[in-house]
Amino acid sequence: MNDIHVAEKPVQAGLALPGGMLIDGQIVVDATAFDVIDPATGEVFAQAPDADRDDLDRAVTAARCAFPHWAAHNFAARRGVIAQIASRLRTSAEPLGKLLTAEQGKPLRDAIGEVRRAADHIEALSTFDVAGGVLREDARERVEIRYRPLGVVGGITPWNVPVMLAMVKIAQALYTGNCIVLKPSPLTPLSTLAIGEAIADIVPPGTVNILSGGNDLGVWLTNHPGVDKISFTGSVATGRHVMASAAATFKRVTLELGGNDPAIVLPDADLDATADAIARSAFANCGQVCMAIKRVFVHRTLYPAMVEALASRAAAIRVGPGSDPRSEMGPIQNRMQFEKVVALLEGVRATPGARIVTGGIVRAGPGYFVEPTVVTGLDDEAPLVREEQFGPVLPVLVYDDIDDAIRRANATEFGLGASVWTHDSARGADIAERIEAGMVWVNRHGGNGRDVPFGGAKHSGYGREQGVAGMQSYMEMQAVTVPKD
């Protein structure tokens, strides 16, 4: 193998950088590489290997060769391997967290927490009964529904929660008897590559392969004839390309795409508790969460107080580099997304009647920092309301009639999540049923249990991940009919 090319760029002290990609049980170095940028500085701090077609072909071949032996293991054996992976994540949480902070930007405690939550998450996923069972049995015959592994899964993960999403795809593939070839975002490849190194001695060769690269690698993976399923998490635009690319070989596809989640606040909602929860959702991870609250509809009688409460909570958030232990929110992860959020803020300033209640400040100097921002005075057609901002800027809108609020909440191409806030939980549940979203919560937003299928309606996704339904999407259903003797 060729040695990886390392440019003369600064490397942050204390970071354990990965050495290469995991292919067929080996750490593979490559002659070409691409830059990885620290969003807190806007500067290159490391490089990652840039996989080519030959690397991908080797990974897919290794996965196909490993598949029959891995699929022959029972669920208990696969669960045992996943438990070992979870244990390794926990012991590696601090160095992995530091690497994640450097490339993604989130505060170090949040990054370490992501690694630890991923360990808990994959252990929980590997406890579900996904094998199927008897559908019907009578005097004439017995009909069984069985679920068989598909073969090789291609996983593609985004840059906002890279460790958690990589581990969820790996665990679901492994537990259901598949092998996986995983491609992390080129903006945050290092922590996932480091996980590959950490677990290389745990997973049988070929069962887990992790390759880094740019958009070309994603295209090669989605149309590779040796891949049986694509699990993609990312933007709506890229999701369309993934589905089209996978169609030629009839790959199974799961798409976790964007969201523009509304929160509908009824006049009887608890002001402080609701404001606390909405602010946590809207500004967590610098607003870079697919199911974050991105629009708030508040009844007119509660509107002034809710705006003030949300603004006070946003103003109290301390923004700074993730490596600073005082920081509560880091930078936006990349320049392209930063420029989009800045453009949305400029649009607010140019809109008559719109008001930035707090925040709106784009910090001068290095890095992609934007203060948590609360905006009022926009109509539903404003870009900040209509589009997914994926940043720490929250529009708050007023309504008078609940039917109108529901109509406006549904007037979007997205349909990932939504929430209803009210003292009357039964009424909240009735309203939730009318919202066009894959997941709706009453008096909270997000935080699904591992047994709850995750996914959206409309342009927010296709299929489900997690829970029994999501796990079984990594398998092929088979109906077996056996006559009675």
Q: Which residues are catalytic?
A: 256, 290
Both structure tokens of 332:
């936006």
CB 425 within 8 A of CB 327: no
Residues 6+ apart with CB under 8 A from 250: none
User: How many CB atoms within 10 Å of residue 85?
Assistant: 24
Both structure tokens of 23:
């292919």
φ, ψ of residue 417 to 5 degrees: the values are -135, 170
Amino acid in the structure at residue 164: M
The burial class, CB within 10 Å (0-12 / 13-18 / 19+), for 203 is buried
Both structure tokens of 244:
């089209």
Q: Rounded to whole angstroms, what are the CA distances from 285 to 72, 76, 100, 322, 484?
A: 40, 35, 12, 11, 58
Cα(240)–Cα(458) distance, integer angstroms: 12
Residues 6+ apart with CB under 8 A from 275: 306, 309, 310, 313
- β-strand partners of 421: 265
CA nearest 167: which of 201, 203, 131? 203
Q: Give the sheet arrangement for strand 475-483, strand by strand.
A: 132-137, 141-149, 475-483
Q: How many residues does the chain have?
A: 485
Residues 6+ apart with CB under 8 A from 276: 313
DSSP-assigned letters across all residues of 403-443: HHHHHHHH-SS--SEEEEE-S-HHHHHHHHHTS-SSEEEES
3-state secondary structure of 35: strand
